[in-house]
A and B are shown apart, each in its own frame.
Chain A
Amino acid sequence: MNIGLVLPFLMNGVVLGLIFAVVALGFTLILGVMQVINFAHGALFAFGCYFAFTLQRIVGFWIALLIAPIIVGVIGLLLERLAIRRIYGGNPLFGLLLTFGIAMASEELIRMIWGKPGHSVPAPHFVAGPINLGFMYYSKYRLFLAGLSVVIILIVWLFLEKTPYGGVIKAGAVDSEMVTALGKNLPRLRTFVFGVGAALAGIAGVVAAPIWSVRPTVGTAILMPAFVIVVLGGIGSFWGSVIGGLLVGISTSIMVLFFPRASDIVPYMLMAVILIWRPRGLLGEKSILEE
């Protein structure tokens, strides 16, 4: 087992993990601040993919990268205002079922608008095709993607750590009641967070589209890993999502090398093991979610 064989799998794992991390970040913020299991997160990711697909042909890659997440974020804001805010504080199953319904309807909507078959999304020309790394060929786009994801994660981190509003969100992700006690406008915060979460899912969709192609079911495929990452990383934890995402991405990728069939189950096995060791996830903290 030489390093030349394992290295590309590791690199794939890191790329996969970074995309997962971006999606999980949005999911964990929503879960932490609003205690809503956003089953529609995958659908938001799918919208990101599809908007990228359409916009790219009109305005090119970079502008699509900018506009698509904003559109998805706005969709998120609308969803929150119209539907999601009505079920706060209730049975968590309601949030699940509500967003589940939204996810089903969204998937069908995508079929109605963009058609049933999948589409290939080309990578932007300047990063299309293979790159010669000396000891092997790798994909230019994936390296680019990794860099982009790191930038996105960094921006989110800066926002949460260095801005006052970000600080409120960070606090709210662990204890939303505290937020009200501190005098902040909780409803507006929640709307904003849902929008941000949606935008994160959307941007992950935009950058992932060229490597995964778009198809109506692309949302459901990303949702489960997001669930698992958030649980094993710790609900509401920024680093939990990032580290969890990388862990899941890398382990899934390495498993493909040895036993591809089991690669889907790896995230769940990881989760089970971590939960036995640390019931709140790697970096989870005691939160009102346990009430």
Chain B
Amino acid sequence: MKLKINKIFKVLIHPLVLVFIIFALFPYFPFIGKYISLGTEVLIWVIFALSYNIVLGYTGLPSFGHGGFFGIGAYGLALAYLHLVKGVWIPLLIGSLAGGLAAALVGLFVAKKRGIYFALLTVAFSQMFFFVAFRWDEVTGGESGLGGIDRLSIGIPKLFSIDLSNRMNFYYFVFIFFIICTLLIWRIVHSPFGKVLQAIRENEVRAKYAGYNTARYKWAAFTISGIFAGIAGALYTLLINSAFAFVLDWTQSGNVAMMTILGGGLVNFFGPIVGSAIFIGLRDILSAYWEHWMLVYGLAFVLVILFMPTGILGILGKAKKRKVLK
């Protein structure tokens, strides 16, 4: 009997469950709960940051072009909605596949590289995507972007229907995605596959000698990450009812890297979650109060990199080094 209670207790206080509970209750927080779209935006960026951390934190690859996959997911949904079918699920699926496909393609170029070359190439590719989106007016709407994306209803016909244009409904819709993606990513990084990724991060040459085709693993991590980034991007388009080229800008890549590192993504699975919430919340407050908030933003980057690269959770937990090749 005691064992059973212990077991239930262990599940309940698992950090994942706690995080889920917090976000489930967010709309009921005093004062900030009514700013639902901020909460939705945080959830979306959390998915994005968690996906990014597969590549950065777990595989150790300095990708600075992930904004590109987020953006392609965003446009993927928009284009599917406008030209294919006005729905919810199919455009979402297409958005995430688009993100994954783009990552797979870019991955082919960069999987064999490391370090500086890797970073430079990811930047270059994401910029290329940006310019294509910004200039190809006929398809992407160019500078004006694509508008008119409505959030329709989901459900089973004749049984029930949930109207997603309602902000609260949409928050919980995204919340479900958040739970699923987080659990999936958790499983992936804690699986044997994930262990190989960490091995590559620690010492790629040694992993190679141990017999692993590291390029293929890197490519796989990149692609998987791209799929989740695509989901996040697609959800973002639904949130703001439009797709703009600015979501592909390198500032997005910088933002997601910052969120991930700030929260402690380099040493802790939950880093991206904490980092995203703080980053999005702070940015919102700051930009309302000071027109030159970008100065604080830039300096914050500098200070975090110089003085707390292990991020908030790293400092709080004095995190032990992750295990490699268990």
Shortest beta-carbon distance, A112 to chain B, in Å? 6
Residue pair B120, A227 in contact (C-beta under 8 Å) = yes
Residue pair B306, A98 in contact (C-beta under 8 Å) = yes
A71 to B125, CA, bound (A): 34
Residue pair A268, B127 in contact (C-beta under 8 Å) = yes
Residue pair B254, A100 in contact (C-beta under 8 Å) = yes
Q: In the complex, which residues 95-110 of chain B have their Cβ closer than 8 Å to any Cβ of chain A?
A: 109
**B239 in contact (CB, < 8 A):** no
Shortest beta-carbon distance, B251 to chain A, in Å? 8
Residue pair B135, A262 in contact (C-beta under 8 Å) = yes
Shortest beta-carbon distance, A30 to chain B, in Å? 11
**A86 in contact (CB, < 8 A):** yes
Shortest beta-carbon distance, A106 to chain B, in Å? 7
Given contacts A87-B306, A101-B305, A271-B124, contact A92 B116 (CB under 8 A): yes
**A128 in contact (CB, < 8 A):** no
Contact with B along A107-125 (1 / 0, CB 8 A): 1110110000000000000
Shortest beta-carbon distance, B211 to chain A, in Å? 21
Residue pair B298, A93 in contact (C-beta under 8 Å) = no
Shortest beta-carbon distance, B68 to chain A, in Å? 12
Q: B interface, by DSSP: helix, strand, loop or mixed?
A: helix
Could you say which residues of chain A place their CB within 8 Å of the CB of B109?
Answer: 272, 275
**A7 in contact (CB, < 8 A):** no
Shortest beta-carbon distance, B214 to chain A, in Å? 14
A97's partner among B121, B254, B295, B299 (CB-CB below 8 A) is B254
Contact with A along B107-146 (1 / 0, CB 8 A): 0010000111111110111011001101110000000000
**B172 in contact (CB, < 8 A):** no
**A289 in contact (CB, < 8 A):** yes
Could you say which residues of chain B place their CB within 8 Å of the CB of A228?
Answer: 124
A217 to B135, CA, bound (A): 19
Given contacts A93-B64, A271-B124, contact A264 B119 (CB under 8 A): no
**A231 in contact (CB, < 8 A):** yes
Given contacts A93-B257, A104-B297, A107-B294, contact A98 B302 (CB under 8 A): yes
Shortest beta-carbon distance, B73 to chain A, in Å? 21
A83 to B56, CA, bound (A): 23
Q: In the complex, which residues 290-308 of chain B have their Cβ closer than 8 Å to any Cβ of chain A?
A: 292, 294-295, 297-302, 305-306
Residue pair B305, A98 in contact (C-beta under 8 Å) = yes
Could you say which residues of chain B place their CB within 8 Å of the CB of A227?
Answer: 120, 123-124, 127
Residue pair B292, A111 in contact (C-beta under 8 Å) = yes
Number of interface residues of A (CB under 8 A): 43
B114's partner among A264, A272, A291 (CB-CB below 8 A) is A291
Contact with B along A257-273 (1 / 0, CB 8 A): 00001101100100110
**B62 in contact (CB, < 8 A):** yes
A91 to B134, CA, bound (A): 31
Could you say which residues of chain B place their CB within 8 Å of the CB of A98?
Answer: 301-302, 305-306
**A55 in contact (CB, < 8 A):** no
Given contacts A227-B123, A231-B121, contact A31 B116 (CB under 8 A): yes
**B309 in contact (CB, < 8 A):** yes
Which residue of chain B has the shortest Cβ distance to A111 in the bound complex? Answer: B292
**A254 in contact (CB, < 8 A):** no
**B197 in contact (CB, < 8 A):** no
Could you say which residues of chain A place their CB within 8 Å of the CB of B56?
Answer: 93
**B261 in contact (CB, < 8 A):** yes
Q: In the complex, which residues 70-110 of chain A have their Cβ closer than 8 Å to any Cβ of chain B?
A: 83, 86-87, 90-94, 96-98, 100-109
B116's partner among A87, A111, A261, A289 (CB-CB below 8 A) is A289
Given contacts A103-B298, A228-B124, contact A94 B131 (CB under 8 A): no
What are some 12 contacts across the A-B interface (CB < 8 A)?
A92-B115, A93-B63, A102-B301, A103-B298, A105-B294, A105-B299, A105-B301, A111-B292, A231-B117, A235-B116, A264-B131, A268-B125
Q: List 11 other contacts, CB 8 Å, given A91-B60, A105-B297.
A: A87-B305, A92-B62, A96-B62, A97-B305, A105-B302, A108-B297, A227-B123, A231-B117, A261-B136, A268-B128, A275-B121
